Amino acid sequence: MLAFIVRRLLLVIPSLAGLLVLTFFLIRVVPADPAAALAGENATPAQIAEIRRQYGLDQPLYKQFGVYLTQVARLDFGESAYSRRPVAVDIKQRLPATLELTIAALVFATLAGIPLGTLAAIYHNRWPDTLLRILSVGGVAIAAFWFAIELQLLFAMDLGWLPLRGRLSPGLTAPPVLTGFFLIDSLLAGRLDVFTDALRHLILPAFTLSLGGLATITRFTRAGVLETLQKDFVTYERAQGFPPRALIWKFVLRNSVVAAVTQIGLLFGSLIAGAVVVETIFDWPGIGFYTVQAILTADTKVMLAVTLLIGVIYAIVNILVDVVHGLIDPRLRDDG
Amino acid sequence: MLVLAKFAKDKPAVLGGLIVLMVVGIAILAPLLAPYPGDVSASHLLMRLKPPSWEHPFGTDNLGRDILSRVILGARGALMIALMVVGISMAIGVPLGLVAGYTHGWVSEAIMRVTDVFLAVPQLILALALAQLMGPSLQSAMLALTLTYWPFFTRIVYAETRRLSASLFIDALQCIGAGTLRILFGHILPNAISPIIVRATIGMGFTILVAAVLGFLGMGATPPDPDWGLAIAESRQYLPEAWWFSTFPGLAIFLTVLGFNLLGDGLRDIVDPRLRRSR
């Protein structure tokens, strides 16, 4: 098992190296004047010259790449032109907000998607199945930024049931940072009022973010359940007179969710990307909102750091999915 | 005929096909269908932010322009962007996939590793970063979307080519001395065309969606273009009073993308029995 994990880790090296080359290419070769791009919009010629020296932009490309690798290895991405603080500090502070939102969306998509997919399989090719198919294709077709605005319009502005934006109401102070997740930190601090408020703020953004994942998990669960229903052991149990409903929940589902579990892992990456849009609409203080601010203000250093971060998260999630699979199904370990 | 009969039985796919036909028709006839075709650039400040009525079924926007007209006129831009992006992505991605799939060696390896790297970063973030680095404009947005979409075609064509080049009829062609180009474009490509069409259909919907995000964030179309994403961005200051301002352009995006996705979904079932839903 250990050898399998190590082998999986080694396989990531080429894609991470490729990611480094791609991001290097993006900031050093695509812009007409990389130093000006890195310095930001309001930089003086002296500042631009300083950046040029600091990043070795007057040297040949291979040397620049060496400088770049050293900076990335030290997590030294410089100072954000937007917040005037080190990029690494900003990201460290904002990452928990995004993770809390993403995990909440993933949990909701799983809890709703598996029963819905099972339902579609039970009513195979009848109207609930067709309806769920149109809904799940629709969930992927909806523009998240528009859906978020419509939800705000209805639940926050018209009905006033849920807060419009942010992570907490203005009157409340954030709980002391232990995990950075407001829901967990507030409970640890024994602040139920903060917990409720944070939860109310989480509902609309997490629901918006979960739509794409919900559709995917529904479809994969449906396919898995349909496949399992054709297996011999199911026919045997049914011939024994086992009630079909109980059979589904007791035996079929357990054998069917493996494909859906893979999808849950892979979805995590796409949810982080979706957070870029959702956080912008709900003023959620995570890395998605930060990314959009950086892109709109042409803050190249932040764009670089965030692209790398998301690429690395993608890679880690892929390894985790493989390792979990190896744990569930030992046959997969050998071909690594 | 068999394919058409199968397709006709698949109600959601037929619905998708009808939606796509309708949107294409609207896009072609847009200047004739729009009740106020001049509202691309005209403004009527006295009529600003009027709710839906007989004269303006979708209401008017912050400059008094008819939203129904602008939604109709916007269909053309959305489809044009998607067609360009998907078309150019195919022109880049398909030949690369054919070469990488048919040959064995460093060229093939290099193409597939580059493809992997592009697929390792979320398309939206890469497209946003590229569009900004090239200077925000509609051209940059289209170029950025193309640069991030071609790897999807390469990946599919690569897999199909690898599968096909192991089959007997390709061996036979090689034996009678058929040239590589003839085998690739005359025999492998026609056999790999179905998954390419499916991917392109789904890609149309996907591109319209991502292009709308770029427009919404101010990285694509510029005022006064009747762009759907841009209209939603402009509407945000006038909420909650002018709910119609954001709602109708968003519905247009939703309906168009839904049409392409339902159609692509149905086509995939027909051309790829391995993925058939009614398994």
pLDDT at B204: 93
Q: How far apart are CA A88 and CA B216, in angstroms?
A: 28
Mutate to test the interface with A, among B114, B117, B258 (most CBs of A within 10 A): B117
pLDDT at B153: 93
Q: How far is A60 from chain B (nearest CA, A)?
A: 21
How many percent of chain A have pLDDT more than 70? Answer: 93
Reduced to 3 states (helix: H, G, I; strand: E, B; else coil), residue B108 is helix
Q: How far apart are CA B4 and CA B45, in angstroms?
A: 51
DSSP string for A198-264 = HHHHHHHHHHHHHHHHHHHHHHHHHHHHHHHHTSHHHHHHHHTT--HHHHIIIIIHHHHHHHHHHHH
Give chain A positions within 8 Å (CB) of B266. Answer: none
Q: Which residue has the tokens 């067709």?
A: A130
Give chain B positions within 8 Å (CB) of A150. Answer: 246-247, 250
A30-42 average pLDDT score = 71
Give chain A positions within 8 Å (CB) of B216. Answer: 143, 145
Please answer whether residues A201 and A163 qualify as being in contact, where contact means their C-beta atoms are separated by less than 8 angstroms: yes
| Residue-averaged pLDDT of chain A | 82
How far is residue B16 from each of residues A247, B250, B255, measured CA to CA in Å?
36, 18, 9
Q: Which residue of B has its CA nearest to A18?
A: B117
Q: How far is B34 from chain A (nearest CA, A)?
A: 23
DSSP string for B215-259 = HHTTSS--TTS--HHHHHHHHGGGTTTTHHHHHHHHHHHHHHHHH
Give the residue from A85, A58, A55 showing the smallest Cα distance to A72.
A55
pLDDT averaged over 10-residue windows placed end to end, chain B, 279 residues: 74 89 92 81 78 84 85 91 95 94 89 83 82 83 91 91 87 87 88 88 91 88 86 86 88 94 85 51
Q: Which two tokens stand for residue A261?
A: 């579990």
Identity (one letter) of the amino acid at A251? F
Please answer whether residues B141 and B211 qualify as being in contact, where contact means their C-beta atoms are separated by less than 8 angstroms: yes
Of A26-35, A157-166, B61-70, B81-90, highest mean pLDDT = B81-90
A33-49 average pLDDT score = 75
* B132 vs A: CB within 8 A: yes
pLDDT at B277: 44
Give chain A positions within 8 Å (CB) of B213. Answer: 143, 145, 277
* B238 vs A: CB within 8 A: no
pLDDT 10s digits, B90-131: 999 999 999 999 988 889 888 988 888 887 777 888 888 888
Instruction: Identify which has the larger pLDDT, B148 or A177.
Output: B148
Q: How far apart are CA A71 and CA B204, in angstroms?
A: 39
pLDDT 10s digits, A89-138: 888 889 999 999 999 999 999 899 988 988 888 888 888 888 888 888 88
Instruction: Identify which has the larger pLDDT, B91 or A62.
Output: B91
Residue A85: DSSP 8-state: S
pLDDT 10s digits, A213-257: 898 888 888 888 888 877 788 788 778 877 777 777 777 777 777
Q: How far is A255 from chain B (nearest CA, A)?
A: 16
The shortest CB-CB distance from A19 to any of B117, B122, B123 is to B117
